[in-house]
Amino acid sequence: MINPVRKHIRLSFITFLLLFFAVSFLIPQEYSYAHKVQMFAHVEGSKVFVEGYFADGKKAKNSEVTVFDNKSGERLLGGKTDDMGKFSFNIPKKTDLRISLNASLGHKTEQVLPGSELPDAGGSKSKGIAEVVSTVKDKEGNINKKEKVASFSQIEQVKLQVMIEKGIEKGISPLLRGFSECKERVYYSEIIGGIGYIFGIMGIALYFKARKNQ
Amino acid sequence: MHISEGILSAPVLTAGFVGTAALAAITLRKMDMEEIPKISVITAAFFVASLIHIPFGFTSIHLILNGLVGITLGIRAFPAIMLAIILQAILFGHGGVTVIGINSVMLGGGGLVAYFIWRLRHRFPSTPRRETIFGGIAAAVSVISSGLILALALVTTGEEFVATAGYALLAHVPVMVIEGIVVGVCAAFLAKVKPEILAGQVQKTPMGHHHAT
């Protein structure tokens, strides 16, 4: 009983190795799967920029983009990506936006932009500064010199904050993009890992079968 | 070839899991110890095959090879494909966890169809081309069966997917041709070099007896 099994295991293993090496030559440089569509959405000023692409880096052209209010489920707007796989829209309202990108044949991806990350609807963050400036000016008559200085430094602070936020947004957006691309890529180690799982399961199955046969 | 998450309706997904459980229960019955290593090897090959992309025209395709699994493993093709799909879903997010059921029925079902066609070859005279032709036909029909199950899943989800289902079927045509050729060549090669790998292949044992596995 044992010998034919052993022989079979050995033969199968050799076949597997041959198959595996044959197949390895076919694996392209990037172990990606082209079909999976991904989306990168980020806020810049009062606009949301959406970029759709497949895992192998190809742009998702002419893909349907639909934006929903994630709280009510209501459809807010829709459109199609251009030849570069890009689509942008003005923020319709300050709420959790659920952006869905549908790249034909049922390859779909979704992302939620939380309302807290969005600037106020219809305006940029600089509107906030204008409000601060006007309130300070309204009170100007009543405040003494010392307070005035404090108020102005407050304005500077808000301005600075906005500038920093913008700078960070710009600076990290390629990083974020790279990160989400990286996250989705199929790695060689995972492929090996998967094969390991399969043979591990084989081992467990053989073990239990062998115990039953005893 | 995998259905992604968030497209199909809950009843279709549930039906997928129920179908997978039923098919797995049937196809796992009375498994011999000797079969297990072979099943594992083919499962590993199938698992890797769907991760390899070959540029094709404007897009890239990957081989499915569920037909090859069918003609090598027989009814054990189903659990093999199911296991590979579970691993692909967990490790690579290929499809997703909620669609494991429907994807298994779709690809595993295709594998079973391939085996039923492959079995018919015994009714024809043994010529050198027989294995190539039947391997090719089995693989081609297997791809189309999977395409039909996919189309059915889309259509039962909602009327808005009828057009998508049509496109999906159309997209399977080139895959069908390529798979047919690849698996036909593989079948002929295996029949010559290692006939015991093929399901139900009549083989010569060292003692000189003929027996079918």
Q: B-contacting residues of A 157-176, CB under 8 Å?
A: none
Nearest C-alpha of chain A: how many angstroms from B94? 8
User: ∠B149-B152-B157 over CA atoms, to 5°?
Assistant: 130
Residue B173: predicted pLDDT: 85
* Structural domain for A83, as ranges: 37-120
Most confident of A14-23, A39-48, A88-97, B142-151: B142-151
- Residue A167: inside a domain, yes or no? no
Chain-chain contact of B6 with A193 (C-beta, under 8 angstroms): no
- Residue A102: inside a domain, yes or no? yes
Tell me the average pLDDT across A13-24.
60
Q: B91 contacts in A (CB within 8 Å)? A: 190, 193-194
Least confident of A78-82, A113-117, B42-46, B188-192: A113-117
Question: What's the mean pLDDT when you consider all of chain B?
Answer: 83
Q: Give SS3 for B125.
A: coil
- Residue A176: inside a domain, yes or no? no
Q: Could you identify the residue written with the tokens 């430094």?
A: A153
C-alpha A102/C-alpha B29 separation (Å) is 41
Q: Which residue has the higher pLDDT, A54 or A140?
A: A54
- Residue A20: inside a domain, yes or no? no
Among B36, B37, B87, beta carbon nearest to A194 = B87
Residue A117: predicted pLDDT: 73
- Residue A7: inside a domain, yes or no? no
Among A16, A28, A197, beta carbon nearest to B41 = A16
Nearest-Cα residue of chain B relative to residue A6: B34
Q: What percent of chain B has pLDDT over 70?
A: 89
C-alpha A157/C-alpha A119 separation (Å) is 18
Q: Which of B53, B160, B197 to mutate to test the interface with A (most CBs of A within 10 A)?
A: B53
- Residue A163: inside a domain, yes or no? no
> Is the confidence at residue B80, as pLDDT, over 80?
yes
Chain-chain contact of B83 with A201 (C-beta, under 8 angstroms): yes
Chain-chain contact of B44 with A16 (C-beta, under 8 angstroms): yes
Nearest-Cα residue of chain A relative to residue B34: A5
Q: Give, in words, the CATH class of B10-212.
A: mainly alpha
Q: Which residue has the higher pLDDT, A149 or B89?
A: B89
Query: What residue spans define the domains of chain B?
Result: 10-212
C-alpha B15/C-alpha B17 separation (Å) is 5
Tell me the average pLDDT across B160-168.
80
Chain-chain contact of A198 with B44 (C-beta, under 8 angstroms): yes
> Is the confidence at residue B11, as pLDDT, over 80?
yes
Which of the 8 DSSP states describes residue A35?
T
Q: Which residue has the higher pLDDT, A90 or A141?
A: A90
- Residue A164: inside a domain, yes or no? no
The CATH number of the domain holding residue A96 is: 2.60.40.10
How many independent structural domains does chain A possess? 1
- Residue A109: inside a domain, yes or no? yes
> Is the confidence at residue B132, as pLDDT, over 80?
yes
Chain-chain contact of A5 with B34 (C-beta, under 8 angstroms): yes
Amino acid in position B100: I
Nearest C-alpha of chain A: how many angstroms from B52? 5
A213 — pLDDT class (breaks 50, 70, 90): confident
A32 — pLDDT class (breaks 50, 70, 90): very low
C-alpha A129/C-alpha B115 separation (Å) is 71
Chain-chain contact of A104 with B164 (C-beta, under 8 angstroms): yes
Tell me the average pLDDT across A111-130.
60
Which string of b and e fits B96-133 if b means at least 16 CB within 10 Å? Answer: bebbbbbbbbbbbbbbbbbbebbeebeeeeeeeebbbb
C-alpha B38/C-alpha A200 separation (Å) is 14
| Residue A31 forms contact with B (CB below 8 Å) | yes
Residue A123: predicted pLDDT: 44
- Tell me how far CA of residue B104 lies from CA of A74, A94, A188, B162, in angstroms: 34, 42, 24, 22
Q: Which residue has the higher pLDDT, A170 or A130?
A: A170
Q: What ipTM score was computed for the predicted complex, to two decimals? A: 0.72
Among A5, A190, A209, beta carbon nearest to B92 = A190
Least confident of A29-33, A137-141, A146-150, B57-61: A29-33
Nearest C-alpha of chain B: how many angstroms from A189? 11
B213 — pLDDT class (breaks 50, 70, 90): very low
Tell me the average pLDDT across B67-83.
92
Q: How many CA atoms are closer than 13 Å to the CA of B191, on its beta-carbon side?
A: 23
| Residue A14 forms contact with B (CB below 8 Å) | no
Q: A104 contacts in B (CB within 8 Å)? A: 164, 167
